[in-house]
């Protein structure tokens, strides 16, 4: 066998997945057609083998009858030489057809076995590799999107908190301005209030 991890060296993309699936369909169809061809050739082969056996038996019967006596053989061969030659030609033709058919069957069976044990498993392994890689890429993209969404959500929350703090500060500034003191001035008094004035007794 060709090994379980044998696969084609391809880039794992959706397009290549479609190409590999199409190749697998083609290989499956080719395998089925070659299997049918092999079966048909085997049927023809057996029929031809029967014809060869029949021809050999008839040739053997003819040789038996002609080999009883040398004089009879010479006499029979003198009259029926054409018949013997025709039988030999038929047998040679059948043998040639037999050998040609045998070679065609062997070639077809080699192709069937190659498709069955090498090509189809390689394509199937490639398809499963591509599917695995695409699934991994999809998981990575999902994780990346979740991270980006989390970052955006935190950024929006931070901006909302800053806007709320700014709005509260503006409201306080407005109130303090109505009372006559700026919030920034009040803040500086509070912060700077730790220093003691020499003129204040308490």
Domains and CATH numbers, the chain: 14-141 (1.10.287.3240), 155-192 (no CATH)
Mean pLDDT of 65-73: 57
Kindly report the pTM of this predicted structure. Answer: 0.59
Give the per-residue pLDDT at 198. 56
Sign for the CA dihedral angle at 107, 109, 111, 113 comes to: negative
Q: Which residue has the higher pLDDT, 183 or 51?
A: 51
56-65 per-position pLDDT tens digit = 888 777 766 6
Q: Comparing 75-79, 139-143, 157-161, which segment has the lowest mean pLDDT?
A: 75-79
pLDDT band at 190 (very low <50, low <70, confident <90, very high): low
132-144 per-position pLDDT tens digit = 999 999 999 999 9
The highest-confidence range among 30-39, 57-66, 170-179, 181-190, by mean pLDDT, is 30-39
What does the alpha-carbon distance between residue 141 and residue 122 come to, in Å, rounded to a whole number?
28
What does the alpha-carbon distance between residue 114 and residue 107 come to, in Å, rounded to a whole number?
11
Q: Is the pLDDT of residue 178 over 60?
A: yes
pLDDT band at 193 (very low <50, low <70, confident <90, very high): low
What does the alpha-carbon distance between residue 169 and residue 175 come to, in Å, rounded to a whole number?
10
Q: Is the pLDDT of residue 114 over 50?
A: yes
């Amino acid at each position: 066998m060709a090994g379980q991890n044998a696969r084609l060296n391809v880039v794992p993309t959706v397009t290549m997945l479609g190409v590999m699936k199409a190749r697998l369909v083609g290989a499956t169809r080719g395998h089925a057609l070659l299997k049918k061809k092999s079966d048909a050739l085997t049927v023809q082969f057996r029929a031809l083998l029967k014809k060869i056996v029949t021809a050999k038996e008839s040739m053997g019967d003819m040789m038996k009858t002609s080999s009883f006596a040398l004089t009879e053989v010479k006499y029979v061969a003198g009259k029926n030489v054409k018949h013997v030659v025709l039988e030999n030609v038929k047998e040679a033709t059948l043998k040639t057809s037999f050998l040609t058919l045998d070679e065609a069957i062997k070639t077809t069976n080699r192709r069937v076995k190659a498709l069955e044990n090498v090509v189809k498993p390689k394509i199937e392994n490639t398809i499963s590799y591509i599917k695995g890689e695409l699934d991994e890429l999809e998981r990575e993209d999902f994780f990346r999107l979740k991270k980006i969404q989390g970052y955006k959500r935190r950024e929006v929350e931070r901006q909302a908190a800053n806007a709320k703090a700014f709005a509260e500060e503006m409201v306080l500034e407005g109130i303090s301005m109505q009372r006559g003191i700026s919030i920034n001035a009040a803040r500086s008094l509070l912060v700077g209030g730790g220093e003691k004035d020499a003129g204040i007794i308490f």
